[in-house]
Chains A and B, each alone.
Chain A
Amino acid sequence: MVAKAPIKQSPTKLSELPQEGHWGEFGGQFVPEILLPALKELGRAYREISVRFDFQSELKALRADYGGRPTPLYFAKRLTEYAGGARIFLKREDLVHGGAHSLNNALGQALLARAMGKRRVIAETGAGQHGVATAMACAVLGLSAEIYMGARDIERQRMNVQRMKLLGATVHPVTSGSQTLKDAISEALRDWVTNVPTTYYLIGSVVGPHPYPMIVRDFQRVIGDEIKGQLLRREQRLPDLLVACVGGGSNALGTFFPFVNDEKVQFLGAEATGAASLSHGSVGVLHGAKTFVLQDEHGAIRETHSVAAGLDYPAVGPEHALYKKLGRGEYVPVSDAEALEGFRLLARLEGILPALEAAHAVYAGVQRAKRMKRDALVVITLSGRGDKDLETVLDYDTQPTSEQAL
C-alpha cells in the first residue's frame, strides 16, 4: 500500500454529518430565539461562500504566507527513545503565526465575516490564543475585534491580553460565574443577542450551536489533512494513533476528522482531569449544544479547574461526544502534575516549550507510546507554544504539590 502524493482526501462518510445540525443525539441549536435567524444565515453563507474559488484561494494564501502553513511534522527522536515504544511524531501547530492552531479557524471565519458584510467581530477566549488569533485575523482583514475573557484567565494569561491589545482588539473582562472560558462564551453570546444584525460571533472551538461545530472543524481539518499527506510521503503509511488535547476540542477534531473513516487509525483525546467532560461528565446542554457536560444532579454546570486555561471548560464539542459514544475516539484525563511532566519532557528532550494545553497531549501520547510496538506510529498534535505559560510553570515549580506537602 504505497501511496504517493498528490494525496486525495479520505472519503468522509461522517462528513455528511451533522444532519440538520445534529451529530447523532448531540449538537443542535439550544439558543435564544433571536439568534436562530442569524445561525441559519451563517449556515447558508458558509455553504455558499466557503466553497467559492476566491474564498478558498485567499484562505490558502493567507494560511501559507501569513500563517506559515504547512506546519512541519517532526520526528521526535529523543522523545521516542525516552518512551521506548512507538515512533513519535509531533505536528507543529505551535509554529503557526500567533503560536497556536487557533489562527486556522480565525482566518477562515474572519474571511467569512468580511464576505457576509459584518465588520464587527466578537470572540471569547480562554488561554488567550483564540483571542490573539482573532485579533490578528481582524487586523489583517480590516475588521474590528472585541474579545471576552474571564477575569481569572486575564490574570493567568496576562501576556496574551497585552498581545490582543497591541493587535488593536478590545478586551472585555468577564466577572460572572467562574470567570473562565465558560463565562466568556456566555458573555459573547449575550453580546451577540444584543448586536446580532451588525456582528459576527467568531467562536473559537468546535462548540456552540450548529453550524459552529461544523465550521470550526472544517477550518481546523487542515491539521489532519497535512498530517496524512506528510506521513504518507515520509512513511508511506497512516499513523496508528493520533493524540491531541481536548478542551472544546478544536485542535483534536482538526487532527482526527480527516482520519475518521480510516478505521485502523485510533484517536486519543487528552482532557484536563479537573475539566474532563468526556471522561467524567454526562449528557446535558450548554452553550447551544447537547453534549457531555460536567453538571450536578439538578443540571447546574460545575466549575472546573485546569492549570491550562484553554482546557478549563465544562463541556466539549458535540462531534467528540459522538466519537466517544460510538467508541471511535478514546478520551483520558491528564492531571495538572502530569501535564507539567509532559511540558518538562518536551522542553528537555526536544527543546520545545509546549503550551500547557498541548502538554496534556504530550503526556498522554508518551504514556501510550510506551506500550506500543516499535514499528507503530504515533502523532501528537502540539496545539500551541508555551511562552504564554512560563509564569504559571515557574509558579507551579515553586509551590509544593499536594503530594509533596504530605
Chain B
Amino acid sequence: MILSQRLNRRFEEVRSRGEAALIGYIMTGEPQLERTLEYIRAMEAGGIDVLELGVPFTDPVADGPILQAAHARALRQSATVHTALQTVRELRKGSELPVLLMTYYNPVFKLGEESFARRCSEAGVDGVIIPDLPIEEAASWVNQARKYGLARIFFVTPETDTERVKKICEYASGFLYLVSRYGTTGMNETVAPTAIPLIERVRPLLPEDLRLAVGFGFSTRAQIETVVRAKVDGVIVGSALAARIAAGASPEALADYVRELKAGTRL
C-alpha cells in the first residue's frame, strides 16, 4: 500500500508560499445531508488547505455546546461513518483537498479498526483524528493506519509534559494537534494564554517530518495571525464554522468567512 502523500504535499505547498495551513471543520450531514458537499466546496474555494470532516456520535465528550448540537443534528438525519465516507468519495471526483476524518472511537471500534482504515483509504481519506483515543489505547489503531497509509493525528495539551510529548510524536504522523487551552471545543475572542507557551515548548521536540497545528477556540483572523507568528504550520477552526452553518450561512457567506480566516495565515 502506497502512503497517501496528499496531506504532506499540501503542508509543503503551503509552507513554500510562506503561509500556514488553514484546517476547516464541517460535520457530515451539515447543514443537510445533500448539501454537505456544496459547503465543503465553498470552504475549499474560500481557501481551506485541509478539511476535517466530522462523524457524528451520541456522546461527544470533548466537544462544547456548538459541536454537540452539530452531532445531534447529524444523528437526527441518520448520518453515520458511511455517510462521511460517501461524502469523501464524491469530493474526490474533482478535488485533491486533503481530508481528515474526526470521529470518536466507538464508531471505529464497532466497524472494526481494520475495516474502518481500509474503507477510509479506499474512499480517499488522508488521515484520522480520534479525540478519545490516547496513545495508551492506540497501538493497534496505529498499525492499521500505517498499513492503509492514513495520517495518525494525536493531541498535545497544556497538561502534556515533555516526556509524554516525545512519546506521542512516536505514534503520530502528519501533524500534532495542539489543544490551545483547557476545555472542550468552542469559540473564544482571543488566543488563550496557554497557547503560545505550548507552541514554544513543543516545537523543539518535533521530529522533522511532523508538523504542528493548533486548534480549540479559534474564530478570528487576529487570533490566527497571533499563532502563525509563533510559527505553527496550521490552524484548525471548527466551532466557528459550525456556528455559522447552524445560523443558516449560505455557501458564499461561509466562503467569505474562510477567506478572511485564510488571510490570517499569510504573514
Chain A residues in contact with chain B, CB under 8 A? 21, 28-34, 36-38, 176-177, 182-183, 186, 189-190, 193-197, 283-288, 290, 293, 295, 297-301
Which A residue's beta carbon lies closest to that of B78? A298
| Contact between A33 and B160, CB atoms less than 8 A apart | yes
Contacts of B72 in A (CB 8 A): 176-177
User: B134 interface residue, CB < 8 Å from A?
Assistant: yes
Contacts of A32 in B (CB 8 A): 61-62, 131-132, 134, 155, 157
Can you list, as one digit per residue, whether each of B110-131 has a CB less than 8 Å from chain A (1) or not (0)?
1100000000000000000001
Quote the shortest CB–CB distance from A212 to chain B (angstroms). 14
Contacts of B60 in A (CB 8 A): 186
| Contact between A38 and B159, CB atoms less than 8 A apart | yes
Contacts of B137 in A (CB 8 A): 28-30
| Contact between A298 and B107, CB atoms less than 8 A apart | yes
User: B189 interface residue, CB < 8 Å from A?
Assistant: no
User: B154 interface residue, CB < 8 Å from A?
Assistant: yes
Known: A36-B164, A287-B61. 7 other contacts (CB 8 A): A30-B105, A33-B134, A193-B183, A298-B107, A299-B106, A299-B111, A300-B107
Quote the shortest CB–CB distance from A353 to chain B (angstroms). 34
Quote the shortest CB–CB distance from B156 to chain A (angstroms). 7
| Contact between A195 and B182, CB atoms less than 8 A apart | yes
Contacts of B62 in A (CB 8 A): 32, 190, 193
Known: A194-B184, A284-B110, A300-B58. A33 touches B179 (CB 8 A): yes
Bound Cα distance A143, B161 (Å)? 28
| Contact between A299 and B109, CB atoms less than 8 A apart | yes
| Contact between B107 and A299, CB atoms less than 8 A apart | yes
Bound Cα distance A189, B105 (Å)? 16
Bound Cα distance A28, B264 (Å)? 40
Q: Which residue from A194, A293, A299, A300 sits with its C-beta under 8 Å from B183?
A: A194
Known: A177-B58, A284-B110, A287-B61. A31 touches B182 (CB 8 A): no
Interface centre among B108, B159, B161 (most CB of A within 10 A): B159
Bound Cα distance A183, B63 (Å)? 13
Known: A31-B134, A32-B132, A298-B81. A186 touches B184 (CB 8 A): no
Q: Which residue from B80, B108, B161, B179 sits with its C-beta under 8 Å from A34?
A: B179
User: B265 interface residue, CB < 8 Å from A?
Assistant: no
Known: A37-B159, A295-B106, A300-B58. A190 touches B136 (CB 8 A): no
Quote the shortest CB–CB distance from B101 to chain A (angstroms). 14
Contacts of A295 in B (CB 8 A): 106, 110
Quote the shortest CB–CB distance from A182 to chain B (angstroms). 7
Quote the shortest CB–CB distance from B29 to chain A (angstroms). 13
Can you list, as one digit per residue, whether each of B56-78 has a CB less than 8 Å from chain A (1) or not (0)?
11111110100010001001000
Q: Which residue from B75, B82, B109, B158 sits with its C-beta under 8 Å from A285?
A: B109
Known: A33-B179, A195-B182. A28 touches B136 (CB 8 A): yes
Known: A29-B136, A177-B58. A293 touches B106 (CB 8 A): yes
Interface centre among B56, B105, B136 (most CB of A within 10 A): B136
Which A residue's beta carbon lies closest to that of B60? A186
> Can you name 19 A-B pairs with beta carbons within 8 Å?
A31-B61, A31-B134, A33-B154, A33-B157, A33-B160, A34-B157, A34-B160, A36-B134, A36-B160, A176-B68, A190-B62, A194-B184, A196-B182, A284-B106, A285-B105, A297-B110, A298-B107, A299-B57, A300-B75
| Contact between B61 and A186, CB atoms less than 8 A apart | yes
Interface centre among A29, A286, A298 (most CB of B within 10 A): A298
Bound Cα distance A295, B68 (Å)? 18
Contacts of B131 in A (CB 8 A): 32-33
Contacts of B157 in A (CB 8 A): 32-34
Known: A33-B155, A34-B182, A177-B59. A298 touches B80 (CB 8 A): yes
| Contact between B81 and A190, CB atoms less than 8 A apart | no
Quote the shortest CB–CB distance from B216 to chain A (angstroms). 10
Which A residue's beta carbon lies closest to that of B109? A285
User: B249 interface residue, CB < 8 Å from A?
Assistant: no
Which B residue's beta carbon lies closest to that of A302? B58
Contacts of B81 in A (CB 8 A): 298-299
Contacts of B110 in A (CB 8 A): 284, 295, 297-299
| Contact between A286 and B106, CB atoms less than 8 A apart | yes
Contacts of A189 in B (CB 8 A): 61
Quote the shortest CB–CB distance from A13 to chain B (angstroms). 25
